[in-house]
Structure 1
Amino acid sequence: MLKRVTTRLWNSPSTLLVLCGIFWGGNAIASRLAVGQVTPLTLVFLRWVLVLAVLWPIYGSEVRAHWPEIRKKLPLIILMASLGFTAFNVLFYVAGHYTTALNIGILQGSMPAFVMAGAFLVHGTRITLVQFLGVLITTIGVLVVATRGNPSTILDIDFNFGDVLMLVACGLYAAYTVALRSRPVMPGAPFFSLLALIAAYTSVPLIAFEAVAWGLELPTLNGVLITIFVAIFPSCLAQIFLLRGVDLIGPGRAGVYMNLVPIFAAILAVAVLGEPFALYHGIALALVISGILLAQRTPKPPKPIAASSRKTQARPQSNH
């Protein structure tokens, strides 16, 4: 019975990818719950150590087998792990000390705009008018959150510090996403394991700095539980489910499901943390989701001219 259920789950891309959205939405909640329980730098370090402990015994041999390909792009891989995994998560969890989980979830909707801009600048990927409008709408939604629905805040440059950190974090993760196009040719799971290894190493100087500057603060019992949740669900399971979903339906269709992250983050923030849901949150959420969906639309290819029509056009005119 259990085997049949797990088999059906493993072969259901929609279920797997919806779970990804829930897990990553839950990560925003974890960033708020972690305040006072585990420091951001400790959480990032322990997160990747736990991920590594789970994945490396499974995929370490495959990483070693692909070393010739890895060595050619090792500087890029180190940069990707440092920005997309270490720096992103440090800023993500520090932002949780200054802004709400609701804002963190909604501000993650800025990632598609950053990714699209980066793909255009780095790879020359063409942006259609519809996609540009989608990015514009998404950006407006992000500004609604950052200004708390008060446009005059833009003139005062009085953004919440946590919101600014979250936007910078999204920009870093977008850079990582754009760089994925240049990653070595190897399966996704071993590559993710390699990134986790590098992220664990690059987290060591941060935890050492924290120990010297403020003293090493051990996590509370709740902090340990939060760390375990973050390592298992937003990290291991979400990444494995995403890889499987991409294998089943392709990256384009799988990417649509990532639009669920701001929605689940908003729902969980209200349900779990009891955070107030203001009108501007609803407006921003609607703008972000609408903009993302619009930005992901691709132009339909022109319909081929029917054979009969071509014959009609090619037929010479009568001289009657």
Structure 2
Amino acid sequence: MPTKPALTPPAVRPLALAGIVLAIAGAGFFATKGIVIKLALAEGIDSVTTLTWRMIVAVPIFVAVGIIYYRRQLTTAPTGTRTRLTLGSLLQVLGVGVLGYYVASFLDFQALEYITAQLDRLILLTYPFFVVLLGAIFFRRKITVQMVTALVLSYVGIALIFAHDLTIEGEDVLLGSLLVFGAALAYAVYQLLAKPLIDRMGPQLFTSIAMSGAGPAVIIHFLLTHPMSDLAVSGNGFALMLAIGTMSTVVPAYCISGAIGLIGPERTAIIGNISPLVTVALAIFILGEPFTIWHAAGTALVVFGVWLFTRKQKPKTKVLEEVTSA
């Protein structure tokens, strides 16, 4: 009687492997934002100038991609699925973009003038909890025991790091933490308002229009608070300005978009949870930030709490947020 050939595990499909690589790259590049801002501060470039340069570099790229995408889908997409912009939807996206890319980003960038990149990233990571709380208040969405447990774990972790840093840095830690909590709250409101618009027109077109609204708001803020000469940076400063617009903004956006297309939103979201760990590692080795037992315990609690929170949640929203992240 002939024997059956031994079964061998299927090889990882090249496209799936490419998707995993893109998801890891997107999470890693996204994690560099706080590091680049800190390095810019060390060069004497304040957070508003850095945010302005981010828009100067990134907005033209996003807008060009959005125009190409919109024209292509008008000509190639089936008639019933084509997205046609109206004045109303355009104004909505522009307004939401100001909230997510200007207000939330400004508060986050400002916070980094007062607190470590580690604490900033971990606090900002908890914005999904604000989404749930706002959903419960305004839309009567259900809050489960799992959500409450995840929230408590994450904020206990933040409290450990906050208490440790407060004893060393003093009131600056309190101010910086309040700023980044404000950024997280603004970003949560942004997500609630952005999701139906993203579902309607897709992340590429939404991001292009949203950035187009936030860009002028950021530049106006800069002109009202800074002389134009502050944009004149050179050497390391100029390299950092290019990095914040490309490596920390444009590159991760398209890496994550590509990953979603290749491996789906769920696997991309799970891989994306490495982002805060990358920030912590970079902050220690590049910025020389302290990492004590309190930081280790706090980081572990926050990451576990966020993982617990998203474990049985639909990850699509979370991934789209990374694509259009502040």
Same fold, TM-score > 0.5, yes or no: yes
Alpha-carbon distance in structure 1 between the residues aligned to 2:137 and 2:266: 20
In the alignment, what sits opposite 2:250? 236
Deviation at 1:111, TM superposition (A): 1.8
Contact 1:108/1:262, CA 8 A, preserved across alignment: no
Q: Secondary structure at the match of 1:12?
A: helix
What residue identity is the alignment partner of 1:294? L
Match of 1:289 among 303, 315, 320: 303
In the alignment, what sits opposite 1:14? 20
Q: 1:252 and 1:54, CA in 2 relative to 1: closer, same or farther beyond 3 A? A: same
Corresponding pairs, count: 289
What residue identity is the alignment partner of 1:55? F
In the alignment, what sits opposite 1:48? 55
Match of 1:136 among 152, 163, 180: 152
Q: Secondary structure at the match of 2:311?
A: coil
Larger radius of gyration: 1
Moved over 6 A (4+): none
Deviation at 1:274, TM superposition (A): 1.4
Contact 1:37/1:220, CA 8 A, preserved across alignment: no
Q: 1:230 and 1:159, CA in 2 relative to 1: closer, same or farther beyond 3 A? A: closer
Contact 2:69/2:204, CA 8 A, preserved across alignment: no
Q: How does 1:126-205 map to 2 (within 5 A)?
A: 126-148=142-164, 159-183=173-197, 185-205=200-220
Deviation at 1:158, TM superposition (A): 8.3
Q: How does 1:304-319 map to 2 (within 5 A)?
A: none
Deviation at 1:109, TM superposition (A): 2.4
Contact 1:48/1:197, CA 8 A, preserved across alignment: no
Query: CA offsets per residue over residues 272-310 of structure 1, 9 Å max, x none?
Result: 1111111211111010011011111329xxxxxxxxxxx
Identity %: 20
Unaligned residue ranges in structure 2 (runs of 5+) = 1-12, 75-81, 314-326
Q: 1:205 and 1:271, CA in 2 relative to 1: closer, same or farther beyond 3 A? A: same
Alpha-carbon distance in structure 2 between the residues aligned to 1:265 and 1:9: 27
Deviation at 1:178, TM superposition (A): 2.1
Q: Secondary structure at the match of 2:201?
A: coil
Query: CA offsets per residue over residues 167-199 of structure 1, 9 Å max, x none?
Result: 211221222222222216113212211112111
In the alignment, what sits opposite 2:321? none
Contact 1:43/1:227, CA 8 A, preserved across alignment: yes
Alpha-carbon distance in structure 1 between the residues aligned to 2:69 and 2:30: 27
Q: Secondary structure at the match of 2:164?
A: coil
Higher mean C-alpha displacement, 244-253 vs 7-16: 7-16
| 2:125 is equivalent to residue 112 of structure 1 | no
What residue identity is the alignment partner of 1:192? T
RMSD of aligned C-alpha atoms? 2.9
In the alignment, what sits opposite 2:225? 210
Contact 1:55/1:193, CA 8 A, preserved across alignment: yes
Deviation at 1:47, TM superposition (A): 1.1
Unaligned residue ranges in structure 1 (runs of 5+) = 1-6, 300-320
Higher mean C-alpha displacement, 61-70 vs 221-230: 61-70
Match of 1:222 among 236, 245, 250: 236
Deviation at 1:118, TM superposition (A): 2.8
